[in-house]
Amino acid sequence: MNETKDPADNAAEQELAGVPEEMTEAGDGEPTGDAALALEVAQLREEVDAAKQEVLYARADTQNVRRRMEKDVADARSYASTGFARDILSVADNLGRAIDAVPEALREDEKFKGLVAGIEATQRELDKVFSQHGVTRIAAKGMPLDPNQHQAIMEMPTADAEPGTIVQEMQAGYMIKDRLLRPAMVVVAKAAE
């Protein structure tokens, strides 16, 4: 049996010869040809947009982590000596007490002059090292009470000072850069009765 083909069928076959088979068959109601291509391009664009968003979020997150790490490193450098400074404050307190304990009569005595001068020189050197590392003494006497820097241990009735003003410093307070190292222990004035 020799079947002859319709010339219209021949023309259709030649037209579809270069088109992939999946684009020519309309299976389950899926779009064919240009519509399928447009749908696939739209899906790829959505995927690219989603990937761009993910990359932007990842970059922002990485930048935030980097900033946090830089701040942590800067803080570690600035405040690395905090523990040591806090421990050495008792040495500074004892040097101050030693100088204050020497009576004026002994300060002029030739035997004790060198000892007093040595203790004072040691205290000056310690204060110099403190300042090199950002450790500063908190001003207290005559200042209004600041609960962020001073710790009131008692109130004293007096007419000589405004209520809430520090009249006596029991223990010096210190800051390391902008952080409190140790609060000043103070006596605060209250209204006289």
Does position 75 have pLDDT exceeding 90, yes or no?
A: no
Whether 51 maps to a domain, the answer reads: no
pLDDT digits (tens, 9 = 90+) for 30-68: 667 788 898 999 999 999 999 999 999 999 999 999 999
Residue 12's pLDDT band, with cuts at 50, 70 and 90, is: very low
Does position 119 have pLDDT exceeding 60, yes or no?
A: yes
Element (H, E) at 176: strand 174-176
Whole-angstrom Cα distance, residue 41 to residue 81?
61
pTM over 0.85: no
Report the pLDDT value the prediction gives residue 30, as an integer from 0 to 100.
60
8-state DSSP, 66: H
8-state DSSP, 183: P
Whether 158 maps to a domain, the answer reads: yes
CATH number, domain of 165, equals: 2.30.22.10
Give the domain range for residue 177: 135-193
Question: Number of folded domains in the chain?
Answer: 1
